[in-house]
Amino acid sequence: MFEKKQIVNEIDSIDKRLQNPENWNNHELMNQDLKKKNYLVKFHELIKKNENNFRDTLELLNISENEGDKSLASDLQVDLQKIEKNLSKLYLETLMSGKADSNNSLIEIHSGAGGVESQDWVEMLLRMYTRWCDFRGFKTELVDQNVGEEAGFKSVTFKVTGENSYGWLKFENGVHRLVRISPFDSQSRRHTSFASVFCYPEVQNNIVIEINEKELKIDTFRASGAGGQHVNKTDSAIRITHLPTKIVVQCQNSRSQHRNKSIALEMLKSKLYEKRLKQEEDDNKKSRSEKGEIGWGNQIRSYIMQPYTMVKDHRTDKQISDVNSVLDGKIDDFLENQLIKFNL
């Protein structure tokens, strides 16, 4: 968690690196330093602006109370509430101080128990996260998809590009449970579906992740789903297995086998980096291999549409009754509660 003094010290440290001509031999690293400095300077200025506004508003509030101006006092109290809201947003950003929190992220969603119901649930979760990204101005890019026979996806992977996207989404790891009246059941019975979500950070160029080619098993296969005749008739899709860790990645979104392999290798690096971060932080969070079965008893969040409506996060106990708004991407309350709880 940052303090103002730490922010100033970090800005000074970056300035010293930027002023050293030898460091500019690595333009990639210097560009990242410039980006980080601009973010910290803006963050520091916002803190000072809100502090000054708070002091000025308090002073005016004291004057209005002494003069008995209730109308002005009421307006100033609204201003204080706005300042509190702004500071709360800044506070949440201070909680994203992990090594990879500022990175872009990759999200995998896999269907679990429930057959076609769970495959449809994967598509609903994909829409929920992409809608949330749209609200925040984040860019999403589909990396891989395994289309279901009747509806939805067996699995899907997409990239989220935006400031602190990994910091916001890293606690979404786990099993998500849906209870609803099935649109695929002619008898309109209630069904329970499960899907697992896994988030890991994109590896930046200044992070070295060594991969031994001899430790990789590379398979090619025909892409599934939309893509035209070319995609369906050529072995353009790539699956890579990292033998020491048993991590598997695949990509079939491009018609170029070379491009798919390149993306898959970057995904593998990201997963290995995320694994390294978890070991270094020793935070006892569940990694992918520790998730367990995608089914009963392992869910982190339940989305209930029948016989009542409620979304409940089982780790923070946060509850929201408006299920439709949550599925439409309004998940900030859950993300914020997770950040606060897991950083206490």
Average pLDDT over residues 76-100: 85
pLDDT on residue 287: 40
Q: Tell me how far apart the alpha carbons of residues 277 and 103 are, in angstroms, rounded to a whole number.
A: 13
* pTM (predicted TM-score): 0.74
> Does residue 3 register a pLDDT over 70?
no
Choosing among 3.40.50.720, 1.10.8.50, 3.40.50.2000, 3.30.160.20, the CATH entry for 213-268 is: 3.30.160.20
Q: Which helix (H) or strand (E) holds 181?
A: strand 174-181
Q: Which of 12-26, 103-117, 220-234 has the lowest mean pLDDT?
A: 220-234
* pLDDT tens string 65-82: 888 888 888 888 899 989
Distance CA 146, CA 55 (A): 56
Structure tokens at 31: 């560009």
| Collapsed DSSP state (helix, strand, coil) of residue 99 | coil
Please tell me the predicted confidence (pLDDT) of residue 95: 85
202-216, 270-284, 311-325: which is most confident: 311-325
105-202+282-341 is a CATH 3.40.720.10 domain: no
What confidence score (pLDDT) does residue 94 get?
A: 81
pLDDT in tens, 241-252: 999 999 999 998
Mean per-residue pLDDT for 309-324?
96
pLDDT at residue number 285: 45
Q: What is the mean pLDDT of residues 194-213?
A: 85
Where are the chain's structural domains?
Answer: 4-94, 105-202+282-341, 213-268
Which residues touch 268 (CB under 8 Å, ≥6 apart)? 211, 240, 242, 247, 249
Mapping DSSP to helix (H, G, I), strand (E, B) and coil, where does residue 318 land?
A: coil
> What is the model's pLDDT at position 284?
40
Q: How far is CA 160 from the centre of its chain?
A: 7
